[in-house]
Amino acid sequence: MEIQIRNAKKEEYKAVEALMEQVQQMHISWRPDIYQFNEIVLSYDR
């Protein structure tokens, strides 16, 4: 299996944002003493 790492394209923003929200929610569940809810997990212009 070959793994390729690349930057996301602007057209993929919604999918990447959804994934980032899931990861953030797992972090909050596992370590609420460190992580907290954020309205914006991945800003569009980033």
Looking at residue 32, its amino acid is: P
Q: Which domain holds residue 45?
A: 9-46
In a domain, 14, yes or no: yes
pLDDT per residue as tens digits for the range 1-38: 999 999 999 999 999 999 999 999 999 999 999 999 98
Answer for the pair 10, 36: CB distance below 8 angstroms, yes or no. Answer: no
Number of domains in the chain: 1
Answer for the pair 29, 4: CB distance below 8 angstroms, yes or no. Answer: no
In a domain, 38, yes or no: yes
Q: What does pTM read for this prediction?
A: 0.75
Q: Could you please report the per-residue DSSP string of 7-41?
A: PPPGGGHHHHHHHHHHHHHHHHHH-TTT----S-S
In a domain, 28, yes or no: yes
In a domain, 4, yes or no: no
In a domain, 1, yes or no: no
Residue 46: pLDDT over 80: no
